[in-house]
Chain A
Amino acid sequence: MQTANETITQTISEARRQIEVCNACRYCEGFCSVFPAINRQRSFLDGDITQLANLCHNCRGCYYACQYTEPHEFALNLPKALAEVRQDSWQEHAYPSSVARAFHKSGVAIGLATALAFGLLFWLIKFVATKGGGAGFYTVLSHNMMFAIFAPAFLLPIFSLAISLRNYWQHIGGGPIHFNDIKAAFGSAAKMKNLAGGHGEGCNFEDEDRFSNSRRWYHQLVMYGFLMCFAATCTATVLHYGFGMPAPYGLFSLPKLLGLAGGVILSFGTLGMLVLKLKADFKLSDERVRGGDTGFVLLLFFVSTSGLVLYGFGNSLYLSELLAIHLGAVLSFFLLTPYSKMAHGFYRLVALIRDAQIQRIKSRP
């Protein structure tokens, strides 16, 4: 049986072998940020390979354009090689990494964790919750109880991610960050520039070498939908503590507008991503985490859709069941963030910051 470290060494050396072929070819320079980053170097340390892997958005343009894919003896499959290194880096840098290994690989584990979270919420609502302490959802689960569950469920993953990203930054040899590095990284992520294919026609995902922006747009729906939902929670927190205005809020309040719109967008986005995932060729991704990846997108879809159902049927007899299901999904999602595909967004952002930083340093006179 191979140890995790042996596997990581293997995936990194395979990626290095392929990257060295790419560096002698350079035809793909225009597709994304990965190739210009490769071309800036002659030799690649482990940290360099990890950084390149996290810069790769798996658009697959390079695979379909490659003269050296199998059956050619060079057997290049860079999207897959980088996906594996990327995946290993998320698991290795996660804190604690054993939890990440379990959830990244297994959709079943994600499902079980979510079911446990449902159970916990049901139990709390039925046996522990102090009722009558407010209006709306608070009639089912008091604000204090919600706070007691979700404050740690929010802060612990942030704490864990912060440790991971710090380790990652050290591993890739990152230096002091300038504001412009962050600006460039957020600019790239906001437009999902690395899924545009260099010419704006998108990536090669769901139909071999056909360029399409579907994945880019669906991913944008997921990202912006999620951010809107998150903003809804933040504005509600501000209203609650800053203005003494506890939930429930009317339809034309910031939390409701952001939450509803974000929920719809997130549901569409995750559904779209799932459909594309089913059409895409799995051989160009890390097949070890097929289950965990799919499980994660399903969970995100479930979070948003259950939220919408809760809004639609919150006045029915099933309020407590619906609330338990939605909050259980949210709880599971939060807790799994550092240990599931959700972590990729943070690593990607850090990789983009690092890339901007290297470019800034290299362009210095």
Chain B
Amino acid sequence: MKPVLQTTPNMDVVVIGGGNAALCAAITSAEAGARVLILETAPKTYRGGNSRHTRNFRCMHEGPLSVLTDTYGEEEYFQDLVKVTGGKTSETLARLAIRSSQSCLPWMQQHGVHFQPSLSGTLSLARTNAFFLGGGKALVNAYYRTAIALGVAVIYEANVTHLELDGDVVTAIDYDHNGKSSRISAKSVIVASGGFQADTEWLARAWGPAAKNFLIRGTPYNRGVVLNDLLQQGVQSVGDPTQCHAVAIDGRAPKFDGGIVTRLDCVPFSIVVNRNGDRFYDEGEDVWPKRYAIWGRLVAAQPDQIAYAVIDQKSIDLFMPSVFPPVVADTLEDLAVKLGLEPAILRQIVDQFNTACGDTGAFHPTELDGVSTTGITPAKSNWARPISDPPYYGYSLKPGVTFTYLGLKVDETARCSTDQGPIKNLWAAGETMAGSILGQGYLAGFGMTIGTVFGRIAGSEAASHANS
């Protein structure tokens, strides 16, 4: 289709994407007096990208702030980030995000976001993360209301296909909407359209064919179309193009958009075997919030990218209920059949494991209790209790992709550049530039912090460029 040049007045700022970063950018631009248009590829019911699935943002605070208790200073925050990224971060941008997060919280409240104390089962985040009342979709709804009240125009189901980059200026935006292609121009353009994890072909090219078996935890609309288009035109990138952040989730989860409810917290109390019935990693290495992310990769490395967690009656109430009921059987052999495993092998593995268990008197479900196995490989270093009390429960595990690391490289003003230097009117915010700060790993709630901080920066920069 040949794009039709629209005769409608061109915009000051066009924001590509409709999640948290896009909305923060649009609101900030509109408040600075710019005429703003949001092009969101999802329909209205699915608007908001992965922000729909979020629930909190990590916020620095030098004293009690809203629902946040105590203090969480810049240094502690930064060190937490260094720990998970193994140092793969831009210190300048990371510290900028961290320092700015403190002023974000009141800004978010002023723009309709409601906070609440940390949810049940998330006490570990009570000091560091402010939870959105109603979760990320409630936040997205509030921002759309605010943006629309400020006069921001929104087009849903608008698939941006191409940004025309002419030297150091984006001169046109092509998008499809209602079966029609349009070309518009804008003084400033902000890309906030996420990563490419929903494009499983791309994922398979980057990761290998195993990626076809991965589940995508979030929106099916993050297909990386604009990201790819810009990279093709020489816009600078950041982040490992082959990597994605994946966690172990319930194997029965939908291919896309399963979100939070597909998480499975039973691993520390279980033994996990692969399709062949073999254990392959220490299930009790650390508390689950610190380990669920590596299990995505571990499961991805197993045959058919699937694994099975087996527990017994003693452990069924020790973790958050999951959305899919477990497979239940009165004998291990029956459970094996129901899970599609070889009964004799599962029996043998469990017997070996049970024999390796020692004194379980010190068992404590929420602490590293040191209740471990001896004489088997891999060992289980905490919560190692025999799997011996029927009924037995089984869950299948698959890798669930949260986001991809490849993104657009930006500076402190969220501006994109090519090898020839900065692009005069192109900014990026949110997941699509988060690779600059999160080179590997993930820190709970930090994605929303990056989105909010850089969304606001991009919005402000884009508006002042448009106004000048």
Q: By DSSP majority rule, is chain A's interface helix, strand, loop, or mixed?
A: loop
Known pairs A30-B116, A67-B259; A61 contacts B323 (CB<8 A) = no
| Beyond A27-B135, A30-B134, 6 additional pairs, beta carbon < 8 A | A25-B260, A27-B119, A29-B120, A64-B137, A65-B137, A210-B145
Closest to A22 in B: B261
- Nearest 7 pairs between A and B by C-beta? A27-B135, A65-B134, A30-B116, A65-B138, A24-B261, A24-B323, A209-B141
Inter-chain contact B321/A199, CB cutoff 8 Å: no
In this complex, how many residues of chain B approach chain A with their Cβ under 8 Å: the count is: 33
- Which residue of chain A is the closest to B142 with respect to CB atoms? A209
Contact pattern, B 405-440, Cβ under 8 Å of A = 1, otherwise 0:
000000000000000000000000000000000000
A39 at the interface (CB under 8 A from B): yes
Tell me the B residues contacting A by CB distance below 8 Å. 45-46, 52-53, 55, 114, 116, 119-121, 131-138, 141-142, 145, 254, 257, 259-261, 263, 317, 320-323, 325
Bound complex: CA A36 to CA B114 (Å): 18
Does A156 have its Cβ within 8 Å of any Cβ on chain B? no
In the assembled complex, the Cα of A70 lies from the Cα of B257 at a distance in Å of 12
Q: Which residues of B contact A24 (CB under 8 A)?
A: 260-261, 263, 320-323
* Alpha-carbon separation in the docked complex, A238 to B131 (Å): 54
**Chain A: interface residue count, which band?**
20 to 34
Nearest Cβ on chain A to B252's Cβ, whole angstroms: 12
A 162-208 contacts with B by CB, 8 A: 198-199, 201
Residues 8-34 of A contacting B (Cβ, < 8 Å): 20-21, 23-31
The answer to whether B254 and A27 touch across the interface, beta carbons within 8 angstroms, is: no
Evaluate contact between A26 and B137: CB separation under 8 angstroms: no
Residues of A near B119 (CB, < 8 A) are 26-27, 29
Q: Contacts of A233 on B, CB cut-off 8 Å?
A: none
B254 near A28 with CB under 8 A, answer no
Distance from A146 Cβ to chain B, minimum over Cβ atoms (Å): 51
Q: Which of A31, A72, A73, A74 contacts B133 (CB 8 A)?
A: A31
Residue of B nearest to A62 (CB): B134
Judge if A42 is at the interface, Cβ distance under 8 Å.
yes
Distance between Cα atoms of A33 and B320 in the complex (Å)? 20
Q: Are A27 and B55 in contact (CB under 8 A)?
A: yes
23 residue pairs bridging A and B, Cβ less than 8 Å apart = A20-B325, A24-B322, A25-B259, A25-B261, A25-B323, A27-B132, A27-B136, A27-B260, A28-B135, A30-B114, A30-B116, A30-B133, A31-B133, A36-B120, A42-B317, A42-B321, A64-B137, A64-B141, A67-B135, A71-B45, A74-B323, A198-B116, A210-B145
Q: In residues 39-76 of chain A, which contact B (Cβ within 8 Å)?
A: 39, 42, 61-62, 64-74
CB A38 to nearest CB in B, in angstroms, measures: 10
In the complex, the chain A residue whose C-beta lies closest to that of B116 is A30
Nearest-CB distance from B225 to chain A (Å)?
A: 22
Query: Given A24-B261, A29-B119, A29-B120, does the pair A67, B137 have CB atoms closer than 8 Å?
Result: yes
Question: What distance in Å separates the Cβ of A201 from its nearest Cβ neighbour in chain B?
Answer: 8
Query: Does B120 contact A68, Cβ atoms closer than 8 Å?
Result: no
Q: A67-B137, A209-B141, A210-B145 are in contact. Are A21 and B121 (CB under 8 A)?
A: no
**Residues of chain A within 8 A of B121, CB atoms compared:** 26
- In the assembled complex, the CB of B113 is this many whole angstroms from the nearest CB of chain A, namely 10
How many Å lie between the Cα of A36 and that of B117 in the bound state? 13
Determine the distance from Cα of A221 to Cα of B254 in the docked complex, in whole angstroms: 46
Chain B: minimal CB distance from A271 (Å): 27
* Residue from A27, A31, A65 whose CB has the most chain B CB atoms within 10 Å: A27
A61:B260 contact, CB within 8 angstroms? no
Complex CA gap A39/B134 in Å reads: 15
Query: Once bound together, how far apart are the Cα atoms of A210 and B260, in whole Å?
Result: 25
Of the candidates B52, B120, B263, which one forms a contact with A67 in the assembled complex, judged by CB atoms under 8 Å apart? Answer: B52
Given contacts A23-B321, A42-B317, A67-B52, contact A28 B134 (CB under 8 A): yes
A62 to B131, CA, bound (A): 15
**Nearest CB of chain A from residue B204's CB, rounded to whole Å:** 24
Q: Which A residues are CB-close (under 8 A) to B257?
A: 67, 72
Q: Which residues from chain A contact B259 at a C-beta distance below 8 Å?
A: 25, 67-68
Closest-CB distance, A361 to chain B (whole angstroms): 18
Q: How far is the CA of A72 from the CA of B218 in the complex (A)?
A: 12
Specify which of B114, B116, B323 is in contact with A29 (CB 8 Å cutoff).
B116
Task: Let me know if A67 and B133 touch, CB within 8 A.
Answer: no
Question: B120, A26: Cβ atoms under 8 Å?
Answer: yes
Q: How far is the CA of A219 from the CA of B257 in the complex (A)?
A: 37
Other-chain contact of B114, A21, A198, A210 (Cβ < 8 Å): A198
User: For A30, what are the chain B residues with a Cβ–Cβ distance below 8 Å?
Assistant: 114, 116, 131, 133-134
Cα distance, A30 to B137, chains bound together (Å)? 14
Query: Is B53 a contact partner of A67 (Cβ separation < 8 A)?
Result: yes
Cα(A25)–Cα(B138), bound, Å: 14
- In the assembled complex, how far is the CB of residue B468 from the closest CB belonging to chain A, in whole angstroms? 36
Bound CA span A71–B142, Å: 21
Nearest-neighbor residue (CB-CB) of A70 within chain B: B45
* Chain B min CB distance to A212 (Å): 12
Nearest opposing residue in chain A for B112, CB measure: A211
Report the minimum CB–CB distance from A363 to chain B (whole Å): 14
How many Å lie between the Cα of A66 and that of B322 in the bound state? 17
- A26: chain B residues within 8 A (beta carbon): 119-121
- With both beta carbons as reference points, the residue of chain A lying nearest to B254 in the complex is identified as A73
A64→B254 contact, CB < 8 A? no
User: Which chain B residues border A20 with CB–CB below 8 Å?
Assistant: 321, 323, 325
Q: How far is the CB of B255 from chain A (nearest CB, A)?
A: 10
Contact of A64 with B138 in the complex, beta carbons under 8 Å: yes
Closest chain A CB from B15 CB (angstroms): 20
Interface string of A127-144 (1 = CB under 8 A from B): 000000000000000000
Q: Is the CB of B137 within 8 A of A66?
A: yes
What's the minimum C-beta distance from B269 to chain A, rounded to whole angstroms? 15
With the chains together, A112 CA to B451 CA distance in Å? 60
CA A73 to CA B323, docked complex, whole Å: 13
Measured between beta carbons, the chain B residues less than 8 angstroms from A73 are 254
Name the residue on A nearest B139 (C-beta): A65
